[in-house]
Structure 1
Amino acid sequence: MDWLGPEEWQAVSLSLKVALWATLATLPLGVLVAHALARWSFPGRQLLNGLVHLPLILPPVVTGYLLLLGFGTQGPIGGPLQELGIVFAFQWTGAALAAGVMAFPLLVRAIRLSIEAVDPKLEQAASTLGASRFWVFATVTLPLILPGILAGAVLAFAKAMGEFGATITFVSNIPGQTQTLPSAIYAFLQVPGGEDAALRLVLISVVISMAALLVSELLARRLARKVHGT
């Protein structure tokens, strides 16, 4: 990428790093929450569903501010974590946290839909043979929903790559530390002569987003063929 300057390349590489860690960190929890919403009945189920989708409804800046209140160095969560040497505010780890929170609803929804597409009778048949809930999930449900999990992970990665509002509110826009691709585009557009650099980053964003959507669509089609047996 010789046509990218050092600052632009830093923004691209940091965005890839943030999006990857945001996706990997939220994936196990996303599978658990999606399975709970799709298969379990428990008090507060609708409340959990609402909390999961809340980042999609709230303005991203509000989500970022809530993260700053909770995970800032003086926050109820961020304060104790800082004593352990774990800091999120104004760090790339905070950018990953914000991106993960914003991408989480898309991840859960994709996985939940794939779980709901699995015939419950298949799981019940395994249970009648003496398999535990975990073993039923690991041997029956998981192989069937794997394409859905991958599709959800791809969508979450793409969302994390493009997250701006929550990230810039929580970790600011520090070049080389917290300046992700969207933040860099915003910064370049604020200075005279920065339009060319912003355009290059926009093109990279479009390519990455389109690639993620195409991969997600291919995985979704594979899931449909697998479920319907065609």
Structure 2
Amino acid sequence: MPLLALLIRAPWSALGSLLGQRTVVTALRLSVECASAATVISIVLGVPLAWVLARVRFPGLRLARAVITVPLVLPPVVGGVALLMAAGRNGVVGQHLDSWFGITLPFTTAGVVVAETFVSMPFLIVSVEGALRSSDLGLEEAAATLGAGRWTVFRRVTVPLVLPSIGAGAVLCWARALGEFGATITFAGNYPGTTQTMPLAIYNAFQTDPDAAIALSLVLLLVAVTLLVALRDNWLRAGSPT
């Protein structure tokens, strides 16, 4: 019913002009770029982390898994505050980044990417870890007995086995990053052209121009439905036992 109400109240006659506004185009471009960058970072960091959680046994494994995946259940605003305490100019790490390298993350486009990576990477990790746990270890052991090193086994055997799950996790990660609001506005702010992504633009528009907010919401709704329809079979295939 909420989705139907959104379609009924949509200003269809003025949709083109509303979506053609410069601020809207800029917010959409920034959203896609930042979500894509966050997804790439999540793949680079998340796939090895998922492998460690699935394959390595060490004291504190459960705690490590909880810490890595806690953004799944953490309120996004709390995540934004935590990022400020860690990477802000006076943060635990941020003060050194600023004084040593002149790097400032809060209220920048890079800050948007950091915030989106923080909240979205666990979706990829959970997807890949589940696939690794259900994959056939015999193939990896066979490659190792034939003389392949650990890195070669990981690159030539493990990754191809879980590639569908990596793809599914990446899509979920990208979609989550695209729709991120709380951590972004808290850590990166809401500056048009710099940190104002589509969710933030919707929030601004709703206060002054509800029709524009509905039009922007339709864009994200279309993206979400397209992803679900186009990749549903891939998700089901990735989630099935190998």
Cα distance in 1 for partners of 2:180, 2:60 equals 29
Match of 2:51 among 35, 40, 44: 35
**Residue identity opposite 1:133 in structure 2:** R
1:91 aligns with 2:108: yes
Cα distance in 1 for partners of 2:113, 2:204 equals 19
- TM-score, structure 2 as length reference: 0.87
Match of 2:150 among 128, 133, 154: 133
Q: Note closer, same or farther for the CA distance 1:106–1:215 as it changes in structure 2 (3 Å cut).
A: farther
Percent identity (aligned): 40
Cα distance in 2 for partners of 1:80, 1:99 equals 22
Q: Note closer, same or farther for the CA distance 1:79–1:215 as it changes in structure 2 (3 Å cut).
A: farther
1:16 aligns with 2:36: no
Q: How does 1:1-230 map to 2 (within 5 A)?
A: 3-83=19-99, 84-191=101-208, 194-223=209-238, 228=242
Q: Which position in structure 1 is the counterpart of 2:9?
A: none
- Count of paired positions: 225
Cα distance in 2 for partners of 1:102, 1:215 equals 24
Q: 8 Å contact 1:55–1:101 — kept in the other structure?
A: yes
What SS does the aligned partner of 1:190 have?
helix
The two structures, once aligned, show a CA RMSD in angstroms of 1.6
Q: Per-residue deviation at 1:86?
A: 2.2
CA deviation profile, 1:134-187 (whole Å, cap 9, x unmatched): 111111111111111111111100000000011111111111111111111011
Q: 8 Å contact 1:152–1:216 — kept in the other structure?
A: no
Segments of structure 1 that go 5 or more residues without pairing to the other structure are none
Cα distance in 1 for partners of 2:143, 2:230 equals 32
Q: Per-residue deviation at 1:130?
A: 2.1
Segments of structure 2 that go 5 or more residues without pairing to the other structure are 1-15
**Residue identity opposite 2:57 in structure 1:** S
Q: Note closer, same or farther for the CA distance 1:117–1:147 as it changes in structure 2 (3 Å cut).
A: same
Q: Per-residue deviation at 1:215?
A: 4.1
